[in-house]
Amino acid sequence: MPKSLLITKLRPPPNRSQYLARVKLLENLDAASKLKLTLLSAPAGYGKTTLLTTWLARAQPTVAWLSLDEADNTIRRFLRHLTTALQQVDDTLSALGDFVNEDTEEVLTTILNDFCHNQEDIVLILEDYHLISSPAVHQAVRFLIENAPDRFHLMLSTRSEPPLPLARLRARGDLTEIRTPNLRFTPDEVRAALEVLGLELSLRDSEELTRRTEGWPAGLHLAALSLQGRKDVGDFIERFTGTDRFILDYLTEEVLMRLDADIQDFLLMTSVLERFSAELANAVSTRQDAASVLEHLEIHNLFLVPLDNQRHWYRYHALFQDLLRHRLEDARPDLCPTLHARASDWFERQGDRVNALRHALEAHDYRRAARLAGQHPDVDVIRRHLLTSLKIEEQGQELAALLEQAASEGLSLEQRSQLLETLEDTQDPAVDYGWLETLSERELEVLKLVAAGLSNKQIARRLDISLNTVKTHTRNTYGKLNVTSRTQAVAVAQKLGLL
């Protein structure tokens, strides 16, 4: 091996026994290792490397491992590392020596021709492929995939979508994809994972922690660090957010600080929005390129969650949004009311009085809020809860007067939170919220049968579909409604007027 090569780049990290073995995903990798390409694509902290090292320890395939870094964007360096990694598992190839000074295609052809004579499967794992930006390197990897013999298999671990012929491979059945939804932990996995770390949670606490972390493995591990030695487990989980010091440090160092200043600025300004489209993001950030920025965020798996199949409405991962809001309020507290005012104006122009009102209150524009509240069909409900929030006993007061008083006295953060929760309960189902129209017709059918108390098997028989199809529709529905159980799904759907 050339002395200039770092040996640790050619060795997988050690398998950590204290992590939960995810049997279904490991079985998926067993099957995937027979195909041309396996793609593990998810944001930072979703356990891609852990899954691979656990699989290697379990399946013990003949594997060549290469951890990539930004310096590998020169084709000569990439080929040197690639051939050295492969020479560790192929004696014949090792005898060929160092031939990276030759033409790229000739080097790759020599490698692939050599593997045609192999009697056993060889898996090449390229870790951190998102660090590769060189078209020449991408072309080399594409050549490997398209011309690979049957016993040669490639696995890529990446935080972003690679510029490779995925659609063609998918259509041919030569591609296995393990993405963010597959890597999220379920409540049962959360309980099991924390038990491995010496923590026992009740079912209720594990479901709540799953909801707050959205099944993000790194978030769960960091939450476990904060839970060590605590007796108030339930109370801590209820308060757990992206501003927890471990979460804050991880997301700041691993995600936010790696982004261009322009992207960071976009993220901070749109963090005031619970859900947003490109049009709304443009209005709030006063940009014209939100659609291309959102496409960039989605391609690079930057904790952006699409809420419909058309990629029209999005939201941020809850813990990532907590971090963004914390940084916005810390760096530019004066900007927050302005951003909410822009959002209020946009929603009003769309005819969505509820969200216009909510953002007007967050902007402390109580005169605007008074006008919007007066137009809302549930005026009496809003008046009653405003009185409660402001601790006023005069039931006969007009909304305008109430909000004028709010302008002089100010609503505390806790009072505003209570008011906004109340407003959520008064949403008019007739209003088109865009993001609510995310369930397909079949998903809605399945959800209605879930609400009726039917089991998955009963639903499959009723709709004349397979059990796996029912499970797929249910899993998709959970993701779109941001829930983790049947009970939560029915409750949220009823609240949103979907049932």
Q: What is the pLDDT of residues 170-214, one digit of tens each?
A: 999 999 999 998 998 888 888 888 887 777 888 888 888 888 888
pLDDT at 312 over 80: yes
Which CATH class name applies to 441-495? mainly alpha
Residues carrying CATH 1.10.10.10, the chain? 441-495
pLDDT digits (tens, 9 = 90+) for 321-374: 888 998 898 888 889 999 999 999 999 898 877 778 778 878 878 777 777 776
Superfamily designation of domain 7-183: P-loop containing nucleotide triphosphate hydrolases (3.40.50.300)
Among 110-119, 123-132, 287-296, the range scoring the smallest mean pLDDT is: 110-119
Q: How high is the pLDDT of residue 437?
A: 41
**pTM summary value:** 0.63
How sure is the predictor about 454, in pLDDT bands with cuts at 50, 70 and 90? Answer: confident
Identify the burial level of 58 via C-beta atoms within 10 angstroms of its C-beta, where 0-12 means exposed, 13-18 middle and 19 or more buried: middle
Q: Distance (Å, rounded) from C-alpha 412 to C-alpha 391?
A: 12
What mean pLDDT do residues 116-133 have? 88
Residues carrying CATH 3.40.50.300, the chain? 7-183
pLDDT at 401 over 70: no
Amino acid at 186: T
pLDDT at 65 over 80: yes
pLDDT at 236 over 50: yes
pLDDT at 492 over 60: yes
pLDDT at 281 over 90: yes
CB atoms within 10 A of CB 466: 10
